[in-house]
Amino acid sequence: MTKNANANHTETALTDIVVVTTADNEDPAFASLGASLAEIRKMDGVLGYIIRSNVSAVLDLAKNDEISQYALFSYQLDQSSMEIAKQLSVAEIESALVEGSSLKVLLMKIGENKISVFMEKNANHSAIIKRILI
């Protein structure tokens, strides 16, 4: 227990990327998705992203002071999407898209990893999905 707690650490780099990890050795799929998301982050209208696996999470958001709000929303979207899919007898979710009047959020599940991309309403989410699935 103490060992796990010691292994947890948070880094805030100059690039505003927050990394939370409990493992020294990153999953290669997680690292690869992280690299893709870093590229997606540069696309027009993309405000930030959260990627999390069972042991690690990376957050890169334009508004650092709203990290908790974005993270909570990402978690809720994940949980509620699963519930909705379950009630409508859909076994597996690949992605979910929530469109608000000002922003939209794309949630994707790639294996054990869950990705949330926050973007402006006019951003091309289809291009982001393609880019992630490459």
Partner 1 sequence: MTEASTKPLQTVLGEFKNISPELTQAFIFTRDGKIIAGDEECIAVARAKKLADAYDQIATQATFIGGIENLTIHGVSTQLGINSTNSRYLATISSRAADEKMIKALTCVIVPTIIELVDQTSPAESECSVIDPGQSEVNSDKEVVQVPQESAPAEQISIAPTFSSEHVFPKPPVNQFMVEKIGGLLVASDVVRVDADVVEKWSDLYGDTQILLVNIETLEGKSAMCKFRPIREADGKAKGIIQIPERILQTLRTCDGKLVMVKPVIPVVLEEQN
Give the total residue count for the chain.
134
- The answer to whether 53 and 113 are in contact (CB under 8 A) is yes
- Which member of 16, 26, 27, 66 binds partner 1 (CB under 8 A)? 66
Closest approach of partner 1 to the CB of residue 11, in Å: 25
Is 44 in contact with 119 (CB distance < 8 Å)? no
Please pick, from the candidates 1, 13, 14, 88, the single residue that binds partner 1 as defined by CB under 8 A: 88
81 belongs to the binding site for partner 1 (CB under 8 A):
yes
Residues binding partner 1: what is the number (CB under 8 A)? 32
Minimum CB–partner distance for residue 132 and partner 1 (Å): 13
Q: Which is nearer to partner 1, 11 or 99 (CB)?
A: 99
Nearest-approach distance from CB 7 to partner 1, in angstroms? 30
Tell me how many degrees the CA angle 59-39-70 measures, rounded to the nearest 5: 25
Residue 61 interacts with partner 1 (CB under 8 A): yes or no: no
Secondary structure (3-state) at 7: helix
CB 54, CB 27: distance < 8 Å = no
Q: Which stretch binds partner 1 (CB under 8 A): 4-12, 29-37, 51-59, 95-103?
A: 95-103
The per-residue DSSP string of 72-88 comes to HHHHHHHHHHHHHHHHT
Task: Report the alpha-carbon distance of residue 27 to residue 24 in Å, rounded.
Answer: 10
Residues at the contact surface with partner 1, assessed by CB under 8 A: 66, 69-70, 72-73, 76-77, 79-81, 83-85, 87-88, 90-105, 118
